[in-house]
Structure 1
Amino acid sequence: MSEGRQEPNTVEYFLQDIEHHGRNERTAAAYERVLSDYEEFLAARFEKTPPEASYRDCMAWVHELRATHSESTVATYASYLNRFYSYLERVGHTDENPMTVVLEEMNESIESNPTRRDVTLPEMRSFVGEIRHPLHRAIVTMLLKTGIRAGELCNLDLIDLHIDHEAQSWQPRAHIAGRPDSLFIATEHTYGRESGGERRTASNKRKRETVVPIDEELKEALLRWLAVRPETPSSAPSAPATGPLFVGTADSWGERLTPDIVHHVVEGYARDRGWYRTGGGAAENVTPHYFRHFFTTHLRDRTGDRGIVQYLRGDVASDVIDTYTHNWGDRVRETYLEHIYSVTP
């Protein structure tokens, strides 16, 4: 977090969200009491905020509860915290839900050596090949080939895309004006705050601005999407093209996508494939964040260059990352295009 920038109160946002979804006052009050106690516990014991908490921090809280509460009450409170972190994951305030493993341990069903589902590249190609909807195909292809988070995808504006094709009618932002077929991922977007003239529904957890190359496969998926993308007020011919890159084509027609919509899209296709089960957890279910894991694993294995993968993911790293930033054209783009896998059958 940069100096002078205050971390948003994620508990407060979550409580507002459950209120908007019609939870009764008694339930809302229970969530508020439990989450406020948890927030105070983290601050006092670990000097952390909820988005910074790890699995071990959550487990320490559960152990403390067991000293004064029954197992049934502890289980109820743990379920509240699990839903809270599921919400934080959807809106981009945390990469993964730390309560997933805690609940598995509480249910005594955790594996001795837990691993994620192993989806092979041919299986993933078959999965993508079955997606016909232009928006859904572009979303999944983008997630798989860039390692971008769901919230970061939702925050993309048209000007964040520089695509070398006549379909581009807008002027890309200065960061990528001289870099055709590239994507700019910013750092400034924060859930609940105004950015680019609108209040954002997700945060960009990225610690560094990143320019990600676009290969021909992703370019084709984006062009197919742009051909049918609904116009928004900011993307009309008479207005500057500063609107969202990805917008809804169903109930939220023409409106910026939210992480919930992206998760719903991915979950639907994953369920059809047998890759998602309610209650399955991160080790079993294929979610938008699974695609980030898939990208990291496969590209790192193909390039043998952890630094480039860290750069593309936007991770905090040493000064070597600055080298990649300055040598984007010579090192990052060439390496990426040489080694990025295909997801088309």
Structure 2
Amino acid sequence: MYQTNTLDCSISHNLPRTNLLLEFLEDCHTRNFSPRTVQAYKSCLKYFLSRHPIEPTPMDLKSFLVHLRDEKGYSPSTVENYFASLSSFYDFLEWEGVTKNIVPQFRKRYIRYYKEQRHEERQLISLEQMKDLIDSADWIGYKAIFTFFAKTGIRRQELIDLDMQDLNLSQNYAVLKPHAKRSNRIIFFDSECSQILEDWITWRQNQKPKIRDKALFLGPHGSRIYRDTIYYATTDHAQRLGFHNPTGNLNEKFTPHCFRHFFTTWMRRAGCPRSIIQELRGDSRKEAIDIYDHITQTELKESYLRYIPKLNIKL
């Protein structure tokens, strides 16, 4: 049975009485982590530190893994998120000279194996299914969101953070807000997507009273759209079309992240070079050949327009 050892989450009797968790979260802000990431770290770490000393042993980590996996029944991705939070926290403490970070070795031995044993592919829908999904949207706001996701492959939080001023409709591109996971911030879209965005902006401008929120994408409430609103709008429309099973396996569900999977896979199948896809996705460049392979914005846009699939959406 999972044993708890309730202590103040920010101190240990062997360490200075300073709020190390708050110091870590402040460090995350300094490193420009997104508010959502910082909040996730805070939640995971408070849960762990309320049950274990601030200097955990391998046995503490093992019992925590069993608790999350077997008693809580969390998915592999959720378990990994907890241990990723722990690793970041103890990496900070090691940097500050407080204690050694033993989490990476533990993750290599236990978490990687656990994830591999339960790995599932996300669902990939066809071009025709994507067209049906977008056409099924009964509100121009959702239609614009689905189209923008499919045509750019951006993450949900990146879409939420976009403001009206970040969009350049005359040149068919947008500039994303800075994000810890993002390298290239300029994203392109084609004329098909541009037309739907124009329809969306026209709808906004015709609303009374006038919409003054600076966010590009709004929810039905008239202000910046929420993460959950996007999730439920996506899964609800996909479920109506028969390719989202809310109680099924990962490959039977269609969630907002599946748009990114769709974009990446269909660009690759169209023949788009891997380096171009990486740049469009904003992936970090790790190999030397990637770092020194300079791709101009003109080359990137031309390649994007050459390979992005046309969906023949109803306008």
- Over 3 Å counting, the alpha-carbon distance change for 1:295 and 1:36 in structure 2 is farther
What is aligned with 1:248? Answer: 219
Letter in 2 for 1:76: E
Report the Cα distance in structure 2 between the residues aligned to 1:152 and 1:296, rounded to whole angstroms. 16
What is aligned with 1:120? Answer: 126
Report the Cα distance in structure 2 between the residues aligned to 1:81 and 1:40, rounded to whole angstroms. 24
What is aligned with 1:285? Answer: 253
Say whether the 8 Å CA contact 2:184–2:282 is kept in structure 1.
yes
- Cα-to-partner distance string for 1:126-146 (whole Å, 9 max, x where unaligned): 222222311000000011010
Say whether the 8 Å CA contact 2:184–2:280 is kept in structure 1.
no
Q: Which has the larger radius of gyration?
A: 2
Letter in 1 for 2:175: F
Let me know the Cα RMSD of the aligned residues: 4.1
Structure 2 residue aligned with 1:181, among 172, 187, 191?
Answer: 172
What is aligned with 1:143? Answer: 149
1:219 paired with 2:194, answer yes
- Cα-to-partner distance string for 1:163-190 (whole Å, 9 max, x where unaligned): 12xxxxxxxxxxxxxxx21111121xxx
* Uncovered stretches (5+) of structure 2, i.e. residues with no partner: 1-26, 83-110
- Over 3 Å counting, the alpha-carbon distance change for 1:221 and 1:324 in structure 2 is farther
Letter in 2 for 1:261: T
Say whether the 8 Å CA contact 1:299–1:340 is kept in structure 2.
yes
Say whether the 8 Å CA contact 2:124–2:261 is kept in structure 1.
no
Say whether the 8 Å CA contact 2:204–2:211 is kept in structure 1.
no
Task: Give the total of aligned pairs.
Answer: 251
What is aligned with 2:97? Answer: none
Report the Cα distance in structure 2 between the residues aligned to 1:40 and 1:269, rounded to whole angstroms. 45
What is aligned with 1:90? Answer: none
Report the Cα distance in structure 1 between the residues aligned to 2:210 and 2:292, rounded to whole angstroms. 34
Report the Cα distance in structure 1 between the residues aligned to 2:188 and 2:69, rounded to whole angstroms. 47
What is aligned with 1:5? Answer: 31
User: When the two structures are superposed, what TM-score results if normalisation uses the length of structure 2?
Assistant: 0.65
Report the Cα distance in structure 2 between the residues aligned to 1:265 and 1:314, rounded to whole angstroms. 25
Structure 1 position 264, deviation (Å):
1.4
Letter in 2 for 1:295: F
Structure 2 residue aligned with 1:152, among 152, 158, 164?
Answer: 158
Q: Say which SS state the counterpart of residue 183 (structure 1) adopts.
A: strand
Report the Cα distance in structure 1 between the residues aligned to 2:209 and 2:270, rounded to whole angstroms. 42
- Cα-to-partner distance string for 1:54-93 (whole Å, 9 max, x where unaligned): xxxxxx9567654xx7xxx853334399778899xxxxxx
- Over 3 Å counting, the alpha-carbon distance change for 1:209 and 1:6 in structure 2 is closer
User: When the two structures are superposed, what TM-score results if normalisation uses the length of structure 1?
Assistant: 0.60
Report the Cα distance in structure 1 between the residues aligned to 2:293 and 2:196, rounded to whole angstroms. 31
- Over 3 Å counting, the alpha-carbon distance change for 1:65 and 1:208 in structure 2 is closer
